[in-house]
Amino acid sequence: MTLLLSRFTVGRSRLGALHRLYASKSRPPHPNSVTLERAIEILKAYDVGQPKQTVELHVQCEPEKGQPPIRGSCILPRAYRQRVRVLVFAEGEQAKEARAAGADIVGGAELVEKVRDDKVKFDKCLSTPSMLPKVARIARLLGPKGLMPTVNKGTVSENIAEIVKFAKNAQDFRADKQNIVHTGVAKIGFDTAEIVDNIRTIMNSIRANAKGSKKKFIARVDISSTRGPGIQVYDA
């Protein structure tokens, strides 16, 4: 983890310089940066014969003081992740709707106990409003993992079928303590245009966190692959 951050984390003075660079339309791109398409071509050259290697996006953000944590979800034009296991806390008709929508694990109070005892494995967690008080009993378990359902995150809803379908296909992201978003975006074997579309879809979702911000929100963007280097891009 430390090694990864060292590749993409820059000092405050460096961020200031980058901020001034991107804020001025009259100045050329950073001399070490390339276009998104060119960066993808370079990574493809590093990963010849390895089409399943992951392309990763690293975005250094500069949120204003007091701004909410940077996080979000979006549907990628071309999905790349393996099957996501979605767990839903629901009962009665809503439980049936969740199963019909594709939820992998559905249950009520008994499921809360199974999760508490670490008897089920899942990637995403959703809940109906009526089940939330019971789910709150395991908030200390789910919260640190980023799995606690909340209304603000869109993981609690009466329309459980809708959020199940979104969760099965959505790409989630969140910034670390240095305000850097690290997320996989594609497989290197995808067409260049498909990788570009996925990256720009996530970038648009990240920029949505900047609503109301008076300064440049994105300081730097790099992409990398499993075997390739980190490459700075200026037009993502």
Structure tokens at 205: 């979702």
Domain identity same for 156 and 94:
yes
**172-203 pLDDT tens trace:** 899 999 999 999 999 999 999 999 999 999 99
Domain identity same for 141 and 201:
no
What pLDDT does 49 receive? 87
Domain identity same for 180 and 155:
no
Range of the domain at 64: 8-70+175-233
Residue after which a domain boundary falls, among 122, 146, 170: 170
pLDDT-above-70 percentage for the chain: 87
36, 235 Cβ separation under 8 angstroms: yes
* Mean pLDDT, residues 40-64 taken together: 93
* Mean pLDDT, residues 75-103 taken together: 93
Domain identity same for 121 and 53:
no
81 inside domain: no
CATH number, residue 41: 3.30.190.20
The whole-angstrom separation of Cα 236 and Cα 230 is 14
221, 232 Cβ separation under 8 angstroms: yes
**23-46 pLDDT tens trace:** 444 344 678 899 999 999 999 999
Give the residue with greater pLDDT, 122 vs 21: 122
22 inside domain: yes
The whole-angstrom separation of Cα 72 and Cα 234 is 22
pLDDT bucket at 12, cuts 50 / 70 / 90: very low
The residue to which tokens 């980190």 are assigned: 230
Domain identity same for 92 and 141:
yes
78 inside domain: no
CATH number, residue 160: 3.40.50.790
What pLDDT does 220 receive? 95
What pLDDT does 29 receive? 64
Average pLDDT taken over every residue of the chain: 87
3-state SS, residue 58:
strand
40 inside domain: yes
Domain identity same for 165 and 190:
no
pLDDT bucket at 67, cuts 50 / 70 / 90: confident
The number of domains in the chain is 2
**96-105 pLDDT tens trace:** 999 999 999 9
Domain identity same for 58 and 96:
no
pTM, whole model, 2 decimals?
Answer: 0.72
Domain identity same for 90 and 145:
yes
Domain identity same for 141 and 111:
yes
What pLDDT does 17 receive? 45
Domain identity same for 146 and 179:
no
